[in-house]
Amino acid sequence: MAENASAPQSAASEVALQATSISRRYGAVVALADASMTLRRGEVMGLVGDNGAGKSTFLKILSGAVVPDTGSIEIGGVEQSFRRPSDALEAGIETVYQDLALVDTMSAVQNVYLGREELSKNPFLRLLNVVNDGGMRRRSREVLAELGVGIQSVNVSVKGMSGGQRQCLAIARALLWGRQIVILDEPTAALGVRESQQVLELIGRLRDHGVSVILVSHNMQQLAQVADRVTVMRLGRTIATRTVADITPETIIGLITGALPADVATPEDSATVVA
């Protein structure tokens, strides 16, 4: 199940996801005019933009929750057609939404395995659809420990957990399932400073495991700390992609607000430009 969890971190220039010229309209409203992104193996890509710039529509399309009108998505060079979230999950894209997608009334381990429960090894119980609780518990403990996620017990209902714990759990789940690509939507928005730090460290560990991360955030400092590159969206378009090391937060803010024009900045598909 998690055979890719500790994949080599080297393959630096390998493209994990290629989204090209994606658009989507709701009636007369153009939510996404033209969005493209090249995500490499083991990199953290920041995604920034003002409210209504199209970030969330773009994310929903990448996670299969919304079907695009035009454009293509390739994963590992293979063209994808996501009709529903489970398609994206199968293709190896894990999305952690702001609401964390945890079921409060269920335990940590149940949440981690939700939708992909391991069945019992006993053939008879397996036939009866009985799950292998022991195995799932063991495996979640291992992965959570490996990622440094501290929770009292995997059997505890997640309702009692802090925001940071919940966020970490949701992210760790991606790794446990061997996802190649993880999309994080404002993972630290509701967290305090120290909890945010925990989450950022976890993102760093994901990258170390060779996972590619798309990180939506409004926090430029955090992006500067953890992201490799940043893609800027404005008015439904991806207008620029920059290497974080090369730019200042002011530049990004200028791009977001339109103070810096897109055409003066890097062209849309900047994958070849920045290296």
Partner 1 sequence: MTTSLITAADPAAAPEGRGGRRRPDRRGPAGYRDALSIAAVWLVLIVATTVVRPDFLSSQTLLAVTFTMSISGILAVAQAIIVISGGLLDLSLPVALVFSAWATVTALNNGLPTPVAIVIGILAGAAWGALNGLIVVFGKLNPIIVTLATGFGGLAVMLIFFTSAQIPSASDLRLYGLGRFLGLPNIFWPMVIVIIVAGLALHFTRWGRHVVAVGGNAQAAKARGINLRRMRLATFIGAGAVAGLAGVMFSAVTPSFTAAAGAGFQLIVIGAVILAGISLSGGKGNLLVLLLSIGFLATIPASIAFFGLPPAWALVFQGALLIIAVGIDGYRLKRTAR
Among 20, 72, 157, 225, interactor with partner 1 by CB under 8 A: 157
Say if residues 233 and 55 touch (Cβ distance below 8 Å). Answer: yes
Q: Strand, helix or coil at 44? A: strand
Q: Tokens at residue 250, please?
A: 């002011």
Query: Which of these, 159, 155, 139, lies nearest to 147 by C-alpha position?
Result: 139
Q: Confirm or reject binding of residue 81 to partner 1 (CB under 8 A).
A: no
Candidate segments 1-9, 44-52, 85-93, 217-225, binder of partner 1 by CB under 8 A: 85-93
Q: Which of 78, 194, 264, 275 binds partner 1 (CB under 8 A)?
A: 194
Nearest residue (CB) to partner 1, 150 versus 267: 150
Cβ 241 to partner 1 shortest distance, Å? 27
Q: What are phi and psi of 217, to 5 degrees?
A: -155, 155
Quote the least distance from Cβ 205 to partner 1, whole Å.
Answer: 13
> Which of these ranges, 38-46, 66-74, 93-101, 234-242, lies near partner 1 under the rule CB under 8 A?
93-101
Chosen residue from 6, 13, 70, 152 binding partner 1 by CB under 8 A:
152
The tokens describing 93, both together, are 């894209």
Q: Minimum distance between the CB of residue 164 and partner 1, rounded to whole angstroms?
A: 6
Residue 14 vs 118, nearer CB to partner 1: 118
Contact pick of 42, 49, 68, 164 for partner 1 (by CB under 8 A)? 164
- Calculate the alpha carbon distances from 248 to 18, 150, 188, 261 in Å: 26, 34, 21, 16
> For the chain, what is the largest distance between any 2 Cα atoms, rounded to a whole number of angstroms?
65
Q: In what order do the strands lie in the sheet with 181-185?
A: 78-80, 70-75, 15-26, 29-40, 237-243, 229-234, 44-49, 212-216, 181-185, 93-96
Window 212-251: contact mask with partner 1 (x via CB under 8 A):
----------------------------------------
d(CA 82, CA 183): 15
Q: Provide the token pair at 163.
A: 């925001």
Locate 91 and state its tokens: 């293709």
Separation of alpha carbons 234 and 116, rounded Å: 37
Please pick, from the candidates 71, 76, 85, 254, the single residue that binds partner 1 as defined by CB under 8 A: 85
- Closest alpha carbon to 96 in 202, 25, 4, 24: 202
Total interface residues for partner 1 by CB under 8 A: 55
State which of residues 18, 38, 80, 110 lies at the interface with partner 1 (CB under 8 A).
110
5: contact with partner 1 by CB under 8 A: no
Q: Which is closer to partner 1, CB of 149 or CB of 182?
A: 149
* CA of residue 149 relative to chain centroid, distance: 18
Binding site for partner 1 (CB under 8 A): 63, 65, 84-86, 89-90, 95, 97, 99-107, 110, 114-117, 119, 128-131, 133, 148-153, 155-157, 159-166, 168, 190-195, 197-198
